[in-house]
Chains A and B, each alone.
Chain A
């Protein structure tokens, strides 16, 4: 809009307000008089032309040729008569509102136009069982059929398909086409840091494998150590920590492997031979390059009911508890095994002690017997040695 046009109503408003202000004053000063004169001059051209209104007296842009919308013919009514052949999508009837309703094998459009849904013959009919007052348009396959069909009769259907040999798409990956050029060309992205990660992984595996080995080496020593409660506790804690570390290392390794695989897959691009002997990637592969939305697409998440949510929580809780119990059981089992070992060792020691004691006793008894025998011999034979002994004893 032009600035002049914008200014006009403002000017008018200013003028009228000023005049109202000035009217009650009886003593007109020189400045006031000058102002009112100027404003009066402004007010002179207060006509339609001055306000920017113009009435068209000549039509523009071919408006003479365009007829009145209301009197335009809408071309309603039947486009196909009864028994006339139609194909899928043909318009049978155009109407405002539902003068005719869609019946057998017909569909109604947004503006109540009735189309054929199959290729067949048009039938105009009534169906008092469906609705007592409505009139329907239907399409049948057989010209001699009558609508409506009897209640409970199977639908009349046509296949509308032809059987052709199935086109079997052979996988042309890596093959050579008849013209002597390969069907596909594969390009691998070169990654620089692969050796570095390799060494890291290797070292990780080395440490990982080394640790359990040492642990295994240590474990047999354990029962031989002090058997107080603290030692057992510390051993258990140590075992737990070690297992946790092992698990972490394992998961990290798996994650790294997966990432590497994914990177390799992302870096591999397969170009396929086209009809015009050019090579390009498939559209879906090009789409893959962009990546996914990084999560679920909004609006596609499955809305679980509150009950289902609670149920899943309950199940998770139960499983968690079961796992805790299972771990406790396993731990108890290990403890039991260890106790068994200790018990066995104790028993063995006791046995050994007993055997030792018995051996000592037996040795003592044997000695005694030998002495007695010797004594008897000295008493009988009066041996010099025996006398010696006897002396010592005395």
Chain B
């Protein structure tokens, strides 16, 4: 007997006695025992319309959940059947054999006991939330002069209470298996604190670590910013294929602006600025590197429910203003790899940036683009860098064509390593000939000079 069948066994036994017809209330009353009720003792007649063994149906793959389509399936039906939303085979078997009993009413004693404990805990948390809310109201209603610390203290106290309420909201729902399942299915409502908390936890599990590593290993700190801690999940995809942070990408691929996947984990709407900067533009004159702005867009409204934005849609289909349009990343032959950093900066609450000013500052000739820096942008406009991702670019087969298409000069230049002269003294000539170069050996010059 397979594992799934084992799981389905007790419930199946109960259901057979019921001949597939019951209400939710009866099953919650009756199903904790496997002994049959008296009126169920008589053998049930197998009619032709009776479905076959539901476990088999469930495991063989025909959808037993809401009725098998008798005729040929449409592709949509097929897709819905094979979609992972139905869960594992075990879950499907359980669903098939439990005849659509709601999950909360599944007749397992231990499960129901555990649910009781969870319900108690949740009630406790909700009571605490209510108490804290009344406290907040009380504090709000009181005058600042009534506190020893004054208005500052009151605000601090209110903020602390509000964070506590948020914590309690998370704690109230965090143990609910339905919540967990909904989150794992990607159906979590990001306006609710518990789903935001779960999303953040998931991000911190791996993606955040990778981004932190890239920031460290590619010296984003301190080259671009002296200090930076990402708090927003930001992912890139070029031509609808996701790219790993720090990957070296083909210039044909990066010719079009990327689409970003961005998830914020704190509530409320805010305005964002997106900037892409190349921090390794070689400058042969000064024998150093410069920066270059590749993209800049501001005033993009964002909240936790939003996830996806194609940069080429900003100002067209999506809200926001483009200050510097996309300049395809390029690198000249021989130059070391260029780091292209995508930064998301959060604007001050209820404050829009003046795009005309941004354009004037950074969207001019090549020089004005080179005057761009994330640190300067941050300080000038009071932005807070929150999200980061990056990719790299080197000279490849398509770079020359891309540069030509977009009228970018510099494809005809190649970088070669500058020669470093040795510090060793030139060696003195040694040997028979060298010795006989002097006028003393004039008679031997015919042998010692211009030989070979």
Contacts and interface: CB of A to CB of B under 8 A. Distances in A.
Are A and B genuine complex partners?
yes
Interface of A: 85-88, 90, 119, 151-155, 157-167, 318, 321-322, 325-326, 328-329, 332
Contacts of A325: 72-73, 75, 78
B222 A160 contact: no
Contacts of B224: 154
Nearest to A331: B72
Contacts of A322: 75, 78-79, 82
A329 B287 contact: no
Chain A CB within 10 Å, residue with most, of B71, B79, B415: B415
A136 to B, nearest CB: 18
A256 B150 CA distance: 89
21 contacts: A85-B423, A90-B423, A151-B226, A157-B288, A157-B289, A158-B287, A158-B288, A159-B289, A160-B287, A160-B418, A161-B284, A161-B415, A161-B417, A162-B416, A163-B413, A164-B413, A166-B411, A321-B61, A325-B78, A326-B75, A332-B71
Contacts of A166: 332-333, 411-414
Contacts of A161: 282, 284, 334-335, 415-418
Identify the interface centre among A151, A322, A332: most chain B CB within 10 Å of its CB. Answer: A322
SS of B interface (majority): loop
B426 to A, nearest CB: 16
Contacts of B397: none
B247 to A, nearest CB: 16
B282 A321 contact: no
Contacts of A159: 282-284, 287-289, 415, 418
A318 B80 CA distance: 11
Contacts, number: 91
A165 B416 CA distance: 10
A362 B163 CA distance: 96
Size band of the B side of the interface? Answer: 35 or more
Given A153-B226, A154-B222, A325-B72, A163 B423 contact: no
A90 B287 CA distance: 22
A357 B242 CA distance: 73
B287 A164 contact: no
Contacts of A328: 72
Interface in B57-104: 61, 71-75, 78-79, 82
A321 B62 CA distance: 11
B219 interface: yes
A88 B423 CA distance: 11
A160 to B, nearest CB: 5
A90 B423 CA distance: 10
A164 B420 contact: no
B408 to A, nearest CB: 14
Nearest to B227: A152
B226 A155 contact: no
Q: Which of A162, A165, A328 has the most CB of B within 10 A?
A: A162
B143 interface: no
B283 A154 contact: no
B223 interface: yes
A149 to B, nearest CB: 9
The 3 closest A-B pairs by CB, nearest first: A152-B226, A166-B414, A161-B415
B208 to A, nearest CB: 20
A86 B417 CA distance: 18
B21 interface: no
A325 B72 CA distance: 7
Interface string B3-45: 0000000000000000000000000000000000000000000
A325 B82 CA distance: 12
Nearest to B423: A87
Nearest to B84: A314
